[in-house]
Structure formats: structure tokens, C-alpha cells
């Protein structure tokens, strides 16, 4: 069978062709709209150029101290960026499709010279979407991107004209100062009561599973330099994807969807056990997690939701029958890697639109779970549990679920940390509270 076409109608950016290619716009009015969305409002297309460079050292250390700093790193590889060449803040239920359309227009109106041709090189946008239909989603095209993959490094400049390779230098971030966490017992009790309420509704057959989240506020004496927690997260959780977009940062173990060269992959997590720090004991706990009917049930809902959402877009899907246990420093999760071969021309944001919210962050059935969350959780999740990641000119990209995360306040002197747990019929409120505490550890520790 011929391999499916994975190129989106974004033009020929994906093909290894001569270094400079200008993709004609689909229609002039769209180009104008895109250009006016760029930060300075001038009606000019973007010019992006990626060049291979010598290894500049740790990517996160290159970030300037700026609210525009962007990051998506995993085990030393990934991309970081800064500056804002263009951005778009989609809103509403169709925010993913609106973002996808905007991106198609940006790509159509841009000139890309990619001498690297690796995932993340060429024109890219970073983004973060809200969990629910509320303001706060953002797709942003940086002016500078630095990337590393499999030992190769590059820099991309994006702007109104071809820019020179910038000077890259590492700097040391300022440690968080005077950190206090507010997690008072009354709020903890109230959350346990909410879990109990959800269990009763599940036992009454209103729904099968719902993910409930809680938040903890942090305060700082000085505005946070987000590069400090980012560096700590990346070194402590190298198997997670450490991200930062517009004050939303964290280290997520869950890949909602990666699209690369027609291959679709998703890492589904649900079902958790805390680690004790004693390796022998943790191995026993991992075995009990793999046998726990409560966790296996919770996991199965999450896998089903992802497999069902991807099925219309994929052939040759592989959905393993049993999960493996993913070991992280704070917790262990039941995990399943779902793969498929793209059979339509969906870009990664269309796949995100089909997948969000998966049962790892929403529940089963989805509509009922989302309704119950809105009714009983009493929390504005913001970007927590929403998709976060990047998209390239071909429509390929990587989008994780914004977990183990926090949103920095606009004045930088505080942040809200989030964690949630999948609730099923035999969930215990005390266990879920302890599990949520364990899921808060990565960001909590990174802020100390």
C-alpha cells in the first residue's frame, strides 16, 4: 500500500527541495489578515531560516529572561525560542480549528529556508490551549528558535527579513525567592468532599469516570524567573516534556499526540501509584499497580478515548492490550503507547481537536464528564490539562497534555499549581488527595 500523504494544504514546505522556497498565498485577503495579526501589524510575510550550528550547550540555559521565552525539551533534545514574530489567541469551542486555520495562513504567507530538515526546524509556532472554552489559548511564532535533535543543533531566525545568526550565550537564572505555598486544610477537605460526590454519581451510573483537579497557590518575594524551575524540571524529569508558554510551565509525562512524517503516536497515562523512594518497595508497588482493577479500569477508559479519536484519521493502528508501568521520580503510571499511520491530510492540530479532552483529563463519557467537572470542581483550570506543544510548517508537531504544571501570575509574584486524579466507582477520597499531592511534587520542588 502506498504511504499516505501527510502533507497538509500548507504548501511544499515539507519536501527536501532547494533551500529557499516561497509558498504562494492561497488568497490575498488571507495574507492580509495574517499580516495584521503579526505583532507590529505590518502587511509583510514572515521569512524563516534554519541553519545548522555547533552544539550551543543546554537549550534551556540559552533562554533570555523574558516573558516571551518558549520551551519544549525532552531528555536534552527539543526546541526553545524567544521573541514574538506573530501570535494568535484563539477562543471558543473551535479554538483548535481556528488556530489550525491561522497557522495554515501564516505558513502560506511565509518564505522558509530550512537547511536542517528535522522535526522542529523551519517555521514553528509554540502553543498552549485552555482546557475549557475560556480565554487564554495562544499560538506564538518566536523570532529565534534553537533546537537539538539526535546530536544535530540548529538556529532558526523568523522575521520580516532574513536575519543573521544571533549570538547565543548561556546564563544562570535567578532562584525563586521567599516561596510560600498556600494549601489550607479546609480546601483539602473540600476537595475530598468533591471526590466523594463524584464517586456517588459514578456509583449511581451517571458516568463511568471523571478527572477532578485541585490547585495550590504559591507566592514569591520577587517576580519568578521561570528559567529556574524549568531547568530543575528538565534535569529531574528528563523522560517528561518540559514546557513553557506565556507563564504556563511544567514537565508533562503525557504525549497527547505527535505527528511526524505520517506516523501518529500518543502516550496515554491513567492509573497512578506514589513512589516511596525505596527501589525494592517501588518494584512491588509497580507490580500491584499493574494488577489493580481500579487503575486498569481507569486506564482502559483513557486508552479507549484516544484510540476512538484517532481511528478516523489512521490506518494500521496499534493499541497494545495491556499497559506498561512508567516510572517517574515521584509516581508510577499505567502507560500505553498508541500508534497509527495517518490516512487523511489532518495536521497535528486537527488531531489535537479530535483528542481533547481525553479521558486522562476529562472522563467517560466525555460530555458527561466535562459537565460534571464544570458543575462540581469549582476551579478555572486555565491551561492546565489543555494541550501544549508546537507545530511546524508541514503540520507535523508534538502536543503534550499540560500536566505537572503551573501558571505564573501576570505580576510574576505568584503561581497556581494544578494536579488532578481520575475518579472511578471505587476511588477513595483520601487516596486521591495523596495522589494529587504526589503529582504536585515536580513543580513544588522546582520552585523551592
Ligand X SMILES: C=C(O[C@H]1C=CC=C(C(=O)O)[C@@H]1O)C(=O)O
Residues 335 to 354: which contact ligand X by CB under 6 A? none
Instruction: Please identify, among the stretches 46-54, 232-240, 263-271, 280-288, the one whose residues bind ligand X according to the rule CB under 6 A.
Output: 263-271
Structural contact between residues 153 and 54, judged by C-beta atoms closer than 8 angstroms: yes
Verify whether residue 209 is a known catalytic residue: yes
Interface with ligand X (CB under 6 A), residue total 16
Rounded Cα–Cα distance for residues 373 and 370 (Å):
5
Compose the 382-411 pattern: x for residues touching ligand X by CB under 6 A, - for all others: ---------------------xx-------
Q: Pick between residue 107 and residue 326 the one whose CB is nearest to ligand X.
A: 326
Q: Is 271 an interacting residue with respect to ligand X (CB under 6 A)?
A: yes
Q: Count CB-CB contacts under 10 A for residue 356.
A: 22
Bridge pairing between strands 47-53 and 111-114: parallel
Say whether 398 is catalytic. Answer: no
Which secondary structure element, helix H or strand E, spans residue 188, and what is its range? helix 185-203
Using CB under 6 A, which of the segments 138-146, 230-238, 270-278, 317-325 binds ligand X? 270-278
A 10 A CB-CB count for 322 gives: 9
CB closer to ligand X out of 310 and 421:
421
At closest approach, how far in Å is the CB of 91 from ligand X?
A: 24
Q: What are the backbone dihedrals phi and psi of residue 78, each rounded to the nearest 5 degrees, phi first?
A: 130, -160
Take residue 384 and report the three cell numbers written for it: 492546565
> Which range, of 2-10, 36-44, 265-273, 286-294, touches ligand X by CB under 6 A?
265-273
| Close Cβ partners of 235 (under 8 Å, ≥ 6 residues apart) | none
Q: Which grid cell sits at 101?
A: 486555520
Residue of 194, 272, 364, 366 interacting with ligand X (CB under 6 A): 272
* Range in contact with ligand X (rule: CB under 6 A) among 23-31, 33-41, 178-186, 414-422: 414-422
Rounded to whole angstroms, how far apart are CA atoms 439 and 433? 10
Q: Does 416 bind ligand X (CB under 6 A)?
A: no
Catalytic residue among 105, 115, 196, 209: 209
What's 165's DSSP letter? P
Distance CA 404, CA 249 (A): 9
Q: Does the footprint of ligand X cover residue 417 (CB under 6 A)?
A: no
Q: Which residues bind ligand X (CB under 6 A)?
A: 211, 254, 269-272, 333, 360-361, 403-404, 419-422, 439
Tell me which residues are annotated as active site: 209, 254
Amino acid at each position: 500500500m502506498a504511504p499516505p500523504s501527510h502533507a497538509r494544504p500548507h504548501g511544499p514546505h515539507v519536501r527536501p527541495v532547494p533551500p529557499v522556497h516561497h509558498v504562494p498565498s492561497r488568497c490575498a485577503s488571507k495574507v492580509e489578515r495574517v499580516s495584521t495579526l503579526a505583532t507590529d501589524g505590518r502587511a509583510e510575510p514572515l521569512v524563516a531560516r534554519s541553519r545548522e550550528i555547533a552544539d550551543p550547550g543546554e537549550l534551556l540555559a540559552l533562554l533570555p529572561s523574558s516573558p516571551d521565552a518558549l520551551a519544549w525539551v525532552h531528555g536534552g533534545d527539543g526546541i526553545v525560542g524567544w521573541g514574538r514574530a506573530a501570535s494568535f489567541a484563539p477562543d471558543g469551542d473551535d479554538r483548535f480549528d481556528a488556530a489550525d486555520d491561522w497557522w495554515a495562513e501564516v505558513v502560506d504567507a511565509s518564505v522558509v529556508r530550512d537547511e536542517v530538515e528535522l522535526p522542529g526546524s523551519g517555521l514553528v509556532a509554540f502553543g498552549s490551549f485552555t482546557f475549557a472554552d475560556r480565554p487564554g489559548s495562544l499560538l506564538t511564532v518566536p523570532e529565534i528558535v534553537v533546537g537539538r535533535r539526535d546530536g544535530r543543533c540548529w538556529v532558526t531566525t523568523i522575521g520580516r527579513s532574513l536575519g543573521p545568526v544571533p549570538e547565543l550565550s548561556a546564563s544562570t537564572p535567578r532562584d525563586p525567592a521567599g516561596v510560600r505555598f498556600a494549601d489550607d486544610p479546609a480546601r483539602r477537605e473540600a476537595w475530598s468532599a468533591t471526590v466523594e460526590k463524584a464517586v456517588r454519581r459514578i456509583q449511581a451510573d451517571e458516568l463511568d469516570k471523571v478527572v477532578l483537579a485541585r490547585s495550590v497557590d504559591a507566592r514569591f518575594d520577587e517576580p519568578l524567573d521561570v528559567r529556574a524551575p524549568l531547568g530543575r524540571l528538565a534535569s529531574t524529569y528528563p523522560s517528561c516534556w518540559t514546557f513553557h508558554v506565556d507563564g504556563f510551565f511544567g514537565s508533562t509525562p503525557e504525549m497527547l499526540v505527535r505527528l511526524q512524517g505520517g506516523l501518529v503516536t500518543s502516550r496515554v497515562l491513567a492509573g497512578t501509584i506514589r513512589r516511596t523512594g525505596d527501589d525494592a518497595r517501588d518494584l512491588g508497588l509497580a507490580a500491584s499497580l499493574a494488577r489493580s482493577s481500579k487503575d486498569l479500569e481507569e486506564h482502559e477508559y483513557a486508552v479507549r478515548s484516544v484510540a476512538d479519536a484517532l481511528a478516523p484519521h489512521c490506518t494500521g493502528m496499534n493499541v497494545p492490550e495491556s499497559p506498561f508501568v512508567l516510572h517517574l521520580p515521584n509516581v508510577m503510571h499505567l502507560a500505553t503507547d498508541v500508534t497509527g499511520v495517518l490516512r487523511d491530510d489532518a495536521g497535528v492540530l486537527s488531531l489535537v481537536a479530535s483528542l481533547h479532552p481525553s479521558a486522562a483529563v476529562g472522563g467517560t463519557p466525555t460530555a458527561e464528564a466535562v459537565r460534571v467537572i464544570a458543575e462540581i470542581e469549582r476551579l478555572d483550570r486555565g491551561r492546565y490539562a489543555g494541550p501544549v506543544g508546537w507545530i511546524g510548517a508541514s503540520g507535523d508537531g508534538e502536543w503534550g497534555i499540560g500536566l505537572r504544571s503551573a501558571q505564573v501570575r501576570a505580576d510574576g509574584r505568584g503561581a497556581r499549581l494544578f494536579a488532578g486524579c481520575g475518579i472511578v466507582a471505587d476511588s477513595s477520597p483520601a487516596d486521591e488527595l495523596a495522589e494529587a499531592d504526589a503529582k504536585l511534587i515536580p513543580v513544588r520542588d522546582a520552585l523551592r
